[in-house]
A and B are shown apart, each in its own frame.
Chain A
């Protein structure tokens, strides 16, 4: 009993420490990436290459005065950023960072919440993501915040549909809803060089999922919730210092969790990147580390993709966004689902 609890505790600490530790680096990459794309320099004064800038930001957020407007609803105003952060962290619990391994006389699974329903759990937790934003917008008692929150909420609910059609298609294709089975189905190569990733089997579902996670995490081109030109700052207009930082962290952690889900479904999860097998064959003891590294590299590339898109595409107009979600992506997702189901049916015959 004690061993199990210790194991869960260690896993929880690791799974929390990894994204939270990566957060300053991601923010730095985002800023430098933005500067790179706009031919600016970006933050480069604090430390070598400006690498200490995130630390300076954290210090600033911590010591800044908490401005507490008088017209807000106090309880919900304080609760909203906390809820946003907690809900963003929840899906991380079922994401495996490496394959299950034998140690101390039993099989140890690397995820905190071990169940074959892990993928459903992740999406269920991710579906709660709009509450933080909705509460913030409502508690701020401000028209701009309110509009931003309503926009964000409607957008998240609409894009969840096309997201879930693509997930269901992938579950049919792999024939299982266990994350480890999904990943092991994606290990190996076709024709000796092409990795067996789901994205090559289901490019349409991958595209739907990609668009869906952009909308779910409220990133450009779908960041209607905080469109500066129309809504000042959207749902976090009334928030300052650490409360604002919590929203900021929630957005980035949500991004990490959703990218990890995308990678599990379409890019082989923790399965080794091409080339790393050579090292794994020479030194099998390093396998777990190599798997962790592969997942890390994939997530880093995905985050870079987020940054790239953010500074490349302009923002959608709101009605265009809704049209895209309901009239284009949802029918496409359903059609893709039907084709997949027929394919799986005739394959299994």
Chain B
């Protein structure tokens, strides 16, 4: 119980840092710490494999991508003097508080049935038995999605000289002649 409360406080603190930190790099590292403390929570809940996957994929790859892009872009050149619209902050806070209230109500009303712990077979064998039998089609679709994302990100981010513009210029030059 103490561990639960401690992990919750840790996660909440880092999550608040992600949203309210002024520097984007600080919020990226706070996100990394949030993901790591989420992995600890997964471990605490007994899903060791998912906790390892969380560290390996989310903290080890996704958060690194963020930091990488931030360093490529050099955020400091933008400065910190963007005007902040107070109205937007107030409205969004209000909206989110309403959403949070709805969630809290739903959880509060069902807390008895939700707090039941049904022991599951957490072993990798049971997990992947299910994945490769009942969830085979979604799994294959997810792999195709990943492949598409790889191709898309390579195509989008590759820096190429725009040949069509050059050809247009050549055409214009020919027309003038």
Residues of chain A within 8 A of B124, CB atoms compared: 116-117, 177
Docked-complex contact A124 and B52, CB < 8 angstroms: yes
CB < 8 Å neighbour of B32 from A115, A120, A131, A150: A131
Any A CB within 8 A of the CB of B56: yes
Complex interface: stretch among B58-66, B86-94, B135-143:
B58-66
Docked-complex contact B71 and A146, CB < 8 angstroms: yes
Return the chain B residue nearest A139 by Cβ: B25
Any A CB within 8 A of the CB of B48: yes
Docked-complex contact B49 and A128, CB < 8 angstroms: no
Any A CB within 8 A of the CB of B55: yes
CB < 8 Å neighbour of A117 from B25, B29, B49: B49
> Which label, helix, strand, loop or mixed, suits the secondary structure of the B interface?
helix
Any A CB within 8 A of the CB of B131: no
> Which label, helix, strand, loop or mixed, suits the secondary structure of the A interface?
helix
A181 to chain B, nearest CB (A): 13
As a 0/1 sequence over residues 9 to 53 of chain B, the CB contacts with chain A under 8 angstroms (1 = contact) are 000000000000000010001001000000000000000110011
Assuming A115-B48, A117-B49, is B68 touching A128 (CB within 8 A)? no
Docked-complex contact A120 and B71, CB < 8 angstroms: no
A: contact size bracket:
20 to 34
Docked-complex contact A120 and B53, CB < 8 angstroms: yes
Any A CB within 8 A of the CB of B67: yes
As a 0/1 sequence over residues 96 to 125 of chain A, the CB contacts with chain B under 8 angstroms (1 = contact) are 000000000000000000011100110111
CB < 8 Å neighbour of A124 from B32, B55, B64: B55
Residues of chain A within 8 A of B49, CB atoms compared: 117, 120
B174 to chain A, nearest CB (A): 37
Residues of chain B within 8 A of A157, CB atoms compared: 61, 64
Assuming A127-B60, A157-B61, is B67 touching A134 (CB within 8 A)? yes
Residues of chain B within 8 A of A131, CB atoms compared: 32, 64, 67
Residues of chain B within 8 A of A155, CB atoms compared: none
Docked-complex contact B56 and A120, CB < 8 angstroms: yes
Residues of chain A within 8 A of B71, CB atoms compared: 134, 137-138, 146, 149-150
CB < 8 Å neighbour of A138 from B25, B55, B61: B25
Given A124-B60, A127-B56, list of 18 further CB < 8 A pairs?
A115-B48, A116-B123, A116-B124, A117-B52, A117-B124, A120-B56, A123-B52, A124-B52, A128-B59, A130-B64, A131-B67, A134-B68, A137-B71, A138-B25, A149-B71, A150-B68, A150-B72, A153-B64
Interface residues of B (CB under 8 A from A): 25, 29, 32, 48-49, 52-53, 55-56, 59-61, 64, 67-68, 71-72, 123-124
List the 9 closest pairs (A to B, CB-CB), nearest first.
A127-B60, A124-B55, A120-B52, A124-B56, A117-B48, A124-B52, A127-B56, A117-B52, A121-B52
CB pairs A–B below 8 angstroms (16 shown)? A116-B123, A117-B49, A117-B52, A117-B124, A120-B49, A120-B52, A120-B53, A124-B56, A125-B55, A127-B60, A134-B68, A135-B29, A138-B25, A138-B71, A153-B64, A160-B60
